[in-house]
Structure 1
């Protein structure tokens, strides 16, 4: 899963487990094939354009998406 976003100073992101994932799932399974990868694509003034790639069982949230 890839999530694209633009962040400004003071804005953040939250990476958490999807609610449907069984709570006993070993953390190693989430990162064995797909580590979290964050890439900076562009910086213009105070705006940073990011892409975040993570296992589909991880939720990537920003304030405007409800965290």
Structure 2
């Protein structure tokens, strides 16, 4: 899964997560499919959290640098 989504943007990953949630909400999904979708969702969530954490660190670094330049 990670290789499939490695080049996706944050927004693309979020859209994929939304589709997974929508599929899981449907009553027609088998247990096996639900488990596969859930696993993909967990992996995408971890990837999105990593992207957000990196963005947060960049913002903090820029804020500190801006404060030092003043």
Tell me if both proteins adopt one fold, taking TM over 0.5 as the criterion: no
Higher helix share: 2
Higher strand share: 1
Greater RCO structure (CA 8 Å; 6+ sep): 1
- Per the normalisation by structure 2, the TM-score is 0.27
- Per the normalisation by structure 1, the TM-score is 0.27
Which of the two has higher C-alpha Rg? Answer: 2
